[in-house]
Amino acid sequence: MPFDNSFAGLPPAFYTRLMPTPLPAPYFVAASAPAARLVGLDPADLAHEDFVAVFTGNDVPQRAQPLAAVYSGHQFGHWAGQLGDGRAILLGDIAGPDGRMELQLKGAGMTPYSRMGDGRAVLRSSIREFLCSEAMAALGIPTTRALMVTGSNQGVIRETMETAAVVTRMAPSFVRFGSFEHWRYNNKPEELRTLADYVIETFYPALADAPNPYVALLEEVTRRTARMIAHWQAVGFMHGVMNTDNMSILGITLDYGPFGFMEAFDVDHICNHTDQGGRYSYANQVPVGHWNCYALANALLPLIGDQEAAQAALDVYIDAYGEKFDELLHAKLGLKSTQENDRALADDMFKLMQANHVDFTLFFRRLGELEVDVPHAQRDEADAPLRDLFLDRAAFDAWAAQYRDRLRLEGSVDAARRVAMHAVNPKYVLRNYLAQVAIEKAQNGDFDEVRRLLAVLERPFDDQPEHDSYAALPPDWASHLEVSCSS
pLDDT digits (tens, 9 = 90+) for 243-265: 999 999 999 999 999 999 999 99
CA distance 463 to 418: 12
Better-scored residue on pLDDT, 4 or 205: 205
What is the reported pLDDT for 240?
97
Q: Find the mean pLDDT for residues 474-478.
A: 85
- Exposure class string for 138-172: b at 16+ Cβ within 10 A, else e: bbebbbbbbbbbbbbeeebeeeeebbbbbbbbbbb
At 303 the pLDDT is 98
Residue 50: the pLDDT is 96
pLDDT in tens, 426-441: 999 999 999 999 999 9
What confidence tier does 479 reach under pLDDT thresholds 50, 70, 90? confident
pLDDT in tens, 25-60: 999 999 999 999 999 999 999 999 999 999 999 999
Asked whether the predicted pLDDT for residue 461 surpasses 60, the reply is yes
Instruction: Give me the active site residues, please.
Output: 245
Average pLDDT over residues 310-331: 98
Cα–Cα distances in Å, from 107 out to 19, 65, 89, 122? Answer: 12, 17, 8, 8
Q: Over the stretch 323-346, which tens digit does the pLDDT of each residue have? A: 999 999 999 999 999 999 999 999
| CB burial string 205-222: b at 16+ within 10 A, e below | eebeeeebbbbbbbbbbb
Residue 308 pLDDT greater than 80, yes or no: yes
pLDDT reported for residue 1: 73
pLDDT, tens digit (0-9, with 9 covering 90-100), for 342-382: 999 999 999 999 999 999 999 999 999 999 999 988 999 99
Mean pLDDT of the 204-226 span: 98
Strand blocks (E) in 248-380: 260-261
Return d(Cα 108, Cα 482) in angstroms, integer: 26
If you average pLDDT over residues 16-27, what whole number do you get? Answer: 98
* Tens-place pLDDT, residues 417-427: 999 999 999 99
pLDDT at 482: 77
How much is the pTM? 0.97
Give percent of the chain with pLDDT exceeding 70: 99
Residue pair 61/51 in contact by the 8 Å Cβ criterion: no
Give SS3 for 400.
helix
Cα separation, 89 vs 99, whole angstroms: 21
Q: Which pLDDT value is given to residue 218?
A: 98
The pLDDT value given to residue 2? 83
**Number of alpha helices (DSSP H) and beta strands (DSSP E) in the chain:** 16, 12
Side-chain half-sphere CA neighbours of 350 within 13 A: 15
Average pLDDT along the chain? 96
Long-range contacts formed by 434-437: CB under 8 A, 24+ apart: 434/470, 435/127, 435/128, 435/131, 435/132, 436/478, 436/481
Task: Please give the pLDDT value at position 486.
Answer: 61
Average pLDDT value for residue range 95-102: 93
Q: What does the pLDDT look like over 381-407, one tens digit per residue?
A: 999 999 999 999 999 999 999 999 999
Asked whether residue 487 carries a pLDDT value surpassing 80, the answer given is: no
